[in-house]
């Protein structure tokens, strides 16, 4: 198949699902999901209602063999032109003094190793130096990379700081090969990432936001889709805060 294709990792819910569903009529989008098939199927149906041609692929970005199988499935669907590195975990709430090796290993494996591996495979397919037609990579970072998320998510924030640095470095590495690389740093977004917070904690967070509200996944998705599009053809190496003024 020769269709241009967007791949979204962690695309079955939250920000990832919003990106899939808002990709546009007749757009071909594949997305990776790790375990929840029912959630992935629901995303496919919701995308279809908007005219998006979405395909779900079971793949774990933190496992190289699984990720490679996922990319093999992508190759059968079309020509990869856009990768959105959205898959991520928080590693759970913890002060640094209480964080465990298991928490650290998981959050690093998914958020950092997974993003590097997926980007590696995308570059192999997109780079004009390797016979590709160019493309765009958009990484989902976090406002936590700036704030450090003390008392809750220092480990998560550190992984997103790594993604910011990787975005800038990779953008410069492949700019002459027809690939643009950018990152979006969401603020406090209304997804299940905040399920572990109490209403009082959420209210405290919201009071810190100049716009005095949480963002919606669709607001992040629209920024991602703009960066992935030809309208952003001269934009690379950028870190874009979508955080209500934070």
Predicted pLDDT at 196? 63
207 vs 163: which has the higher pLDDT: 163
pLDDT tens-digit readout, 221-239: 999 999 999 999 999 999 9
Share of the chain above pLDDT 70, in %: 98
Set 33, 93, 156, 234: catalytic member: 156
Closest CA to 193 of 111, 121, 65, 90: 90
Decide if domain 4-241 falls under CATH 3.40.50.720: yes
Mean pLDDT of 88-113: 94
Q: What's the sign of the alpha-carbon dihedral 72, 230, 18, 196?
A: positive
Distance CA(127)–CA(134), nearest Å, equals 5
What pLDDT band is residue 1 in, cutting at 50, 70 and 90?
low
Ranges of each domain in the chain: 4-241
Tokens of 69: 């199988």
Is 234 marked active-site?
no
pLDDT at position 193 over 90: no
Burial of residue 35 (number of CB atoms within 10 Å: 0-12, 13-18, 19+):
exposed
pLDDT at position 147 over 80: yes
pLDDT at position 17 over 90: yes
Residue 110 region by backbone torsions, left for phi larger than 0, else alpha for psi between -120 and 50, else beta: alpha
């Amino acid at each position: 198949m020769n269709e241009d294709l967007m791949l979204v990792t962690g695309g079955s819910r939250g920000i990832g699902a919003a990106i899939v569903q808002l990709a546009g009529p007749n757009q071909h989008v594949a997305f990776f999901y790790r375990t929840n098939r029912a959630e992935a199927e629901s995303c496919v149906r919701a995308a279809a209602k908007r005219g998006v041609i979405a395909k779900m692929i079971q793949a774990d970005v933190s496992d190289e063999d699984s990720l490679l199988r996922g990319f093999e499935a992508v190759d059968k669907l079309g020509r990869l032109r856009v990768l959105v590195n959205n898959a991520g975990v928080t590693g759970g709430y913890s002060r640094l003094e209480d964080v465990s090796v298991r928490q650290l290993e998981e959050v690093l494996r998914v958020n950092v190793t997974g993003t590097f591996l997926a980007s590696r495979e995308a570059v192999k397919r997109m780079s004009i130096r390797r016979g590709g037609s160019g493309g765009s990579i958009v990484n989902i970072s976090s406002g936590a990379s700036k704030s450090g998320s003390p008392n809750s998510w220092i480990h998560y924030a550190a992984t997103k700081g790594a993604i910011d640095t990787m975005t800038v470095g990779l953008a410069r590495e492949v700019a002459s090969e027809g690939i643009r690389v950018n990152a979006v740093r969401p603020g406090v977004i209304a997804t299940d990432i905040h399920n572990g917070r109490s209403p009082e904690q959420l209210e405290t967070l919201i009071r810190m936001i100049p716009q005095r509200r949480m963002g919606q996944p669709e607001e992040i998705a629209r920024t991602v889709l703009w960066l992935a599009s030809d309208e952003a053809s001269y934009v690379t190496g950028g870190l874009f805060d979508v955080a209500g003024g934070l």
